[in-house]
Every structure is written in structure tokens, then in C-alpha cells.
Amino acid sequence: MFAAFLQYLFSGLTSGAIYALAGLGFAIIYNASHVINFAQGEFIMIGGMATATMVAAGVPLYLAIPLAMVASMLVGVAMEKFAVEPARNADVVTIIIITIGASIFMRGAAQIIWDKEFHSLPAFSGETPIAVMGATLMPQSLWVIGVAAVVIVGLWYFFNRTMFGKAMLGTSHNRLAAQLVGVAVKKVLLASFALSALLGAVGGIVVTPITFTNYEAGIMLGLKGFSAAVLGGLGNGTGAIVGGLIVGIAEAMASGYLSSAYKDAIAFIIILFVLFFMPSGLFGKRGTDRV
């Protein structure tokens, strides 16, 4: 019995860590700009696809990874520069449509640049399952969890201990005030897209050995990442991680103990209930409206 429970938990942690990594990207851009970037999943896809195709073409992994990260970052910067920046003062919904347009564009480009097939990467440290009290875990799952942990610590340091990070945080709280005290708001926005695209790529690279990737892989990851970020409270990195883990574990427990057909629905019902009682998510700040 306990072994089964532990296995469900491992299954949930594996999915949850993937969702959490996706959710973090949403949190960063939201932090700096209050924009929800629906193309976040595509950054993940680009990271995974670029690395997988390069490795398949014979590029060594240690070279393919940084190249894919740079490629994804460039796409993020281009998106901010050419699509988001020009519409900065538009409505929230307008910007949402722009980012959805960007995601459709990136998917379309990916199927032409690469192809429509699924690609995989070899697991970083082999495929021998780790046995823990009757349950098993793949080493790659530990990679995903570990990378998520490193990223969250790194982000905490960046936002709280570096000047630029603080400037980003300040911009999110009050753009005008930040500008007045000398923060280059435009640069901050650009950096936030670069950072979250980079993070997306990292996520895409570590999850590809588990989930595989193709030009449409970003849709599901984006959706789950958005759910994780909202559940945790927008703009809160820790929230995104916790949100992702909750969604992942809820799905696994639901398929283990209730119904695997309804596991996704059960995860969404949990999210709805949390929002009914905590309208700003688990760790979100209660917003106040100015008249």
C-alpha cells in the first residue's frame, strides 16, 4: 500500500516539477511587466527541440545546451522588442492576444524549421531506476527537481540581492515610480523576457528525456505552467513551484485513487476551489483597486 502511495507521489513529483519549471517563466515576466506570456510554453518547446535536433545531428550535448539556450533567449528578446514593447500601453486582453499570436507563429515556424516528429534526448545520468522503499524514480526526474530548486534559489538571489533584480521588482510594483528613480524600464522588460525564455529553454532541455518534444509540446506545458503560476499566486516564484507540484501530485493521486480519466478535471477543480477561497492564489498578494 505504502509503496503504491510512494509511487504515486514520485509520479506526481515528476510531472509537478515539470509544471513548476514552466510556471516559473510566467512568474518572471509577470513580475516585471504584469504581462501573462502565453508563448511561454513555446520557449520550452524551442529549448527542447533545438537541443534534441542538434544532438541528433552530432553536436555534443554540452555544446547543444548553451546554443539552444541562446537561441531561445534571442527569440524571447525579439518577441519583446517587436511584439510586446510596441503595444505596451494596450489593454491586458490585447497583450494576451498578442502573446497567443506569437505562440501560433512560433509553432508554425518550428514545424518548418524542424519537423512534426517527436524528438528525444538521452537521459543525463542513465536510465537505471532508483528504488526507494518499493517505489522507483528515474534519475532524470531528480534532474528536473534539482534544476527547479537551483532556479528558484537563483531567482531569489537575483531579485533580492542584485541591483538589476531589485529594479525589475520595483518596475512591477510601480512603473512610473521606478522610472523616476532612474530605472531603465525598457531594459528591465527586455531582460525579463530574455530571462524567462532562458528559463523556458532550461526547462525544455531537462524534461525532453522524460516527455519527448515536438513542435506542439509547448501547448500542454504552457497550459499547465499557467495553471501552476495562477494557483501559486501570480508573480511569486515560490508560488509557481508549489502550484506546479500541487497540480502534478493532484493528478497522480487522482489517477491512483480515484479515476485516471478524470485526473485532469480533478486538478482543475482543486484550482477552482483554491481560487474561490483565495482569489489571488496561494501566495499572491491581495490586490487593491485604485479608483
Partner 1 sequence: MRNLMKWGATAVVVAGCSTFAGQAMAADPIKIGSILSVTGPASFLGEPEKKTLEMYVERINKEGGVLGRKVELVVYDDGGAGEKASTFTKRLIESDKVDLLIGGSTTATTMAALPLAERNEVPFISLAGAVVIVEPVKKWVFKTPHTDKMAAEKVFSDMKKRGITKIGMISEDAGFGKSGRDQSLLVVKSYGIEVVADEIYSPKDPDVTAQLTKIKNAPGVQAVFNFGFGQGPAIVTKNFKQLGIAVPLYQSHGVASKDYIKLAGDATEGVRLPAAGLVVPDQLPATDPQKPVVTAFKKDYEAAFKSDVSTFAGHAYDGLQIALAAINRARSTDKAKVRDEIEKTSGYVGTGGLVSMSPTDHMGLSPSAFHMVEIRKGDWVLSN
Partner 2 sequence: MNLMTARTGGLAALAIVVAVAPVGFSNSYFYDVGVNAMFNAIVCVGLNLLIGYAGQISLGHAGFFALGAYGSGILTERYGVPAIVALTLSAAVVGILAFAVARPILKLKGHYLAMATLGIGIIIHIVLKTEAGITGGPDGMSLGNFKMLGFTIKGDQMWYWVTGVLLIFAVWLSLNLIESPVGRALRAVHGSEVGAEVVGVDTSSYKVLVFVVSAVFASVVGSLFAHKNGFITPDIGSFFGSVHFVTMVVLGGMASVYGAVVGAVILTLLPQLLAVVEQYEAMILGVIMMGTMIFMPKGLLPSLMIKLKSREAGR
Q: Is 252 in the site for partner 1 (CB under 8 A)?
A: yes
What is the per-residue DSSP string for the chain? -HHHHHHHHHHHHHHHHHHHHHHHHHHHHHHHHS---TTHHHHHHHHHHHHHHHHHTT--HHHHHHHHHHHHHHHHHHHIIIIIGGGTTS-HHHHHHHHHHHHHHHHHHHHHHS-SS-B----TT-SPPEEETTEEE-HHHHHHHHHHHHHHHHHHHHHHHSHHHHHHHHHHH-HHHHHHTT--HHHHHHHHHHHHHHHHHHHHHHHHHHH-B-TTHHHHHHHHHHHHHHHH-TT-HHHHHHHHHHHHHHHHHHHHHS-GGGHHHHHHHHHHHHHHH-TTTTTPPPP----
Query: Rounded to the nearest whole angstrom, what is the least distance from the CB of residue 119 to partner 1 in the complex?
Result: 8
The reply on whether position 8 binds partner 1 by CB under 8 A is yes
Alpha-carbon distances, residue 38 vs 77, 102, 104, 203, 221 (angstroms): 15, 8, 10, 16, 11
Under the criterion CB under 8 A, does residue 146 sit at the interface with partner 1?
no
Q: Which is nearer to partner 2, 209 or 239 (CB)?
A: 239
User: From partner 2, partner 1, none, which one binds at residue 80 (CB under 5 to 8 Å depending on kind)?
Assistant: none
Residue closer to partner 1 by CB (options 136, 179) is 136
Q: Which of 192, 226, 239, 242 binds partner 2 (CB under 8 A)?
A: 226
What distance separates the 2 farthest-apart alpha carbons in the chain?
Answer: 61
Taking CB under 8 A as the rule, does residue 127 contact partner 1?
yes
Q: Is 216 in the site for partner 1 (CB under 8 A)?
A: yes
Question: Rounded to the nearest whole angstrom, what is the least distance from the CB of residue 167 to partner 1 in the complex?
Answer: 35
Using CB under 8 A as the criterion, what x/- string covers residues 92-111 for binding partner 2?
Answer: xxxxxxx-xxxxxxxxxx-x
Site string for partner 2, 230-249 (x = CB under 8 A): xx--x---------------
The verdict on 286 binding partner 2 (CB under 8 A) reads no
Q: Which of 5, 142, 280, 282 contacts partner 2 by CB under 8 A?
A: 280
Instruction: Kindly state the smallest distance separating residue 83's Cβ from partner 2, in Å.
Output: 5
Q: Does 83 bind partner 2 (CB under 8 A)?
A: yes
Residue from 146, 257, 265, 285 in contact with partner 2 (CB under 8 A):
265
To the nearest whole angstrom, how small is the minimum distance from the Cβ of residue 250 to partner 2? 13
Find residue 213's DSSP bridge partners: 119
- Pick out residues in 9-38 that bind partner 1 (CB under 8 A): 10-12, 14-15, 18
Should residue 1 be labelled a site residue for partner 2 when binding is judged by CB under 8 A? no
Q: Under the rule (CB under 8 A), what is the footprint of partner 2?
A: 30, 36, 83, 86-87, 89-98, 100-109, 111-112, 223, 226-227, 230-231, 234, 261-262, 264-265, 268-269, 271-272, 275-276, 279-281, 287, 289-291
